């Protein structure tokens, strides 16, 4: 990690984050290159979700920088909250989520839903689906948006064993085709190679970040 | 960007179509408040026709306030707000789209209902076009100003009261000029000045509020 590879899509430099006057992490450095699969580890409350949200651009950055060396890589973020509307069907949800940036045909959306094992559930409203099925609908978006970097927060939550295996194969496919993944999970991944970033190592002993901002 | 906004508007309208209670609640509230007024004050036509302009405008404002709290809250709760903010478009376009959708389901039906309500309160017939026009200029302003408050209280539990306190002062000028226009029309006086002021407030709100609410959403 000493030299930044030329194919790097996103560089995180000396990132620190303070929440409620508690320093979550400081001095975090890593770069996401095409083909990387980063597994973000750390105990509860170590700031995994916060780091993902910082990378996604959902929080303003206090200390450090996040740069996009090459052309602006397209990022997709899938958090704890799935962003699905309960009253809308799986297909309608995918239509508006994808429609925010590009467009999709119904055929494409049905194909994506079939890929995540929801064939026959296209017109079911989200309210009638189980937690695992909802997660699958959200994951179907990954197949529709041609994003370079996937930011996934606990993407295996509520999935059955087959679902976990399927998703791992999608992750591998994505990295093999030049994409990158940054994900949190308390499970160990069965796919290789995985780069691990353990946030527990970046938690400072004292309570406030070194360069006290504000 | 137009496409981005259209996707949001279409989605929000579809959501309302699936759950019509959201559309009907503020309207029922509007009609109820107006209908209770003659019972509380006086059923005399002379009294009601004088108070009509104010009653209709205040009820319209309360109905708008009632529906505003959920403007961003539902999207925040289910995580779709995050996805909307992550789209590569400025936050003000998202706010504007949400407000347009909100106005279409809260402001527009109110305007369409207002002639009926005006009749109920013995508002002189000559004032009805002015009433509708003033509501047409005023209710979008109410929705726009309200968006700032709604954006600020989005992550706050029980933000309803806070929202009311935050945006009520911004509503005062709209109410004053809106109601004054209708009163003037019912007395046969010119209303151009009031309308111009209402229009100016709408333009001002259009310029400032999407940007301010967008900034508030990112907090």
| pLDDT per residue as tens digits for the range A45-90 | 888 898 999 998 888 888 888 888 767 778 899 988 999 999 999 9
pLDDT, residue B95, reads 96
Please tell me the pTM assigned to this model: 0.89
Question: CB–CB of B82 and A99 under 8 A?
Answer: no
* Angle made by CA atoms B26, A126, B78, in degrees to the nearest 5: 60
What gap in Å lies between CA B106 and CA B26, rounded to an integer?
7
A123 in B contact zone (CB under 8 Å)? no
Min Cα separation B80/chain A (Å)? 4
Q: Quick one: CA dihedral B16, B17, B18, B20, positive or negative? A: positive
What gap in Å lies between CA B96 and CA B83, rounded to an integer?
16
CB atoms within 10 A of CB A81: 16
Retrieve residue A4's tokens.
Answer: 């930044």
Tell me the Cα Rg of chain A: 18
Q: For chain B, positions 19-78, list CB contacts with chain A under 8 A.
A: 19, 77-78
Nearest to B79 among A57, A82, A87 (CB): A82
Whether residue A209 has pLDDT greater than 80: no
* Residues in chain A closer than 8 A to B83 (CB atoms): 77, 83, 97, 100
Say whether the ipTM exceeds 0.90: no
Min Cα separation B90/chain A (Å)? 12
What gap in Å lies between CA B40 and CA B61, rounded to an integer?
19
Which domain does B114 fall in, by range? 2-217
Tens of pLDDT, residues A13-47: 888 888 888 888 888 888 888 888 999 988 888 88
Residue boundaries of the structural domains of chain A: 1-73+148-214, 78-146
Question: CB–CB of B86 and A56 under 8 A?
Answer: yes
Tens of pLDDT, residues A95-108: 999 998 888 888 99
Architecture of the domain delimited by A1-73+148-214: 3-Layer(aba) Sandwich (3.40)
Whether residue A2 has pLDDT greater than 90: no
A206 in B contact zone (CB under 8 Å)? no
Nearest to A96 among B7, B18, B78 (CB): B7
As a whole number, the mean pLDDT across chain A is 85
Question: CB–CB of B11 and A79 under 8 A?
Answer: no
Q: Which residue of B has its CA nearest to A77?
A: B83
Whether residue A3 has pLDDT greater than 50: no
Give how many domains chain B has, as a whole number. 1
A68 in B contact zone (CB under 8 Å)? no
Residue A203 has φ and ψ, to the nearest 5°, of -80, 120
Instruction: For residue B203, give every residue at least 6 positions away whose Cβ sits within 8 Å of its Cβ, in sequence order, or none.
Output: none
CB atoms within 10 A of CB A125: 17
């Amino acid at each position: 990690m000493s030299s930044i590879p030329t194919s790097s899509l996103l560089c995180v430099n000396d990132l620190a984050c303070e929440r409620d006057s508690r320093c979550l992490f400081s001095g975090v450095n890593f770069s996401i290159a095409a083909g990387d699969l980063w597994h973000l580890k750390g105990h509860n409350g170590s700031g995994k979700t916060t780091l993902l949200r910082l990378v996604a651009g959902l929080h303003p950055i206090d200390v450090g920088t996040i740069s996009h060396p090459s052309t602006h890589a397209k990022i997709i973020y899938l958090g704890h909250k799935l962003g699905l509307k309960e009253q809308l069907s799986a297909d309608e949800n995918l239509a508006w989520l994808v429609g925010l940036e590009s467009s999709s045909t119904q055929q494409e959306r049905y194909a994506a839903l079939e890929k995540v094992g929801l064939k026959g559930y296209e017109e079911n409203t989200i309210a009638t689906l189980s937690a695992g099925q909802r997660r699958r609908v959200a994951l179907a978006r990954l197949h529709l948006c041609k994003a370079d970097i996937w930011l996934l927060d606990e993407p295996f939550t509520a999935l059955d064993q087959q679902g976990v295996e399927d998703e791992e194969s999608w992750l591998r496919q994505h990295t093999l085709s030049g994409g990158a993944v940054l994900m949190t999970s308390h499970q160990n991944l069965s796919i290789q190679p995985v780069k691990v970033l353990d946030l527990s190592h970046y938690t400072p002993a004292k309570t406030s970040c070194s360069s006290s901002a504000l | 960007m137009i496409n981005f906004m259209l996707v949001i508007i279409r989605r929000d309208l579809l959501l309302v179509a699936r759950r019509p209670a959201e559309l009907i609640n503020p309207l029922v509230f509007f009609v109820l408040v107006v209908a209770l007024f003659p019972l509380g004050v006086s059923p005399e036509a002379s009294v009601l026709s004088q108070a009509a302009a104010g009653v209709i405008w205040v009820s319209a404002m309360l109905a708008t306030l009632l529906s505003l709290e959920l403007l961003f809250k539902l999207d925040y709760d289910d995580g779709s707000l995050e996805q909307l903010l992550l789209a590569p478009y400025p936050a003000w376009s998202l706010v504007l789209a949400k407000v347009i959708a909100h106005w279409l389901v809260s402001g527009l039906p109110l305007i369409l209902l207002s002639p009926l309500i005006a009749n109920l309160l013995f508002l002189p017939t000559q004032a009805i076009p002015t009433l509708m026009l003033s509501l047409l200029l005023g209710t979008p302003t109410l929705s726009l100003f309200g968006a700032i408050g709604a954006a600020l209280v989005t992550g706050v539990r029980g933000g309803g009261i806070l929202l009311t306190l935050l945006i009520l002062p911004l509503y005062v000028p709209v109410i004053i000029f809106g109601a004054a226009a209708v009163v003037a029309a019912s007395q046969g006086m010119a209303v151009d000045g009031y309308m111009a002021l209402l229009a100016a407030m709408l333009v001002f709100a259009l310029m400032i509020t999407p940007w301010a609410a967008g900034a508030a959403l990112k907090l």
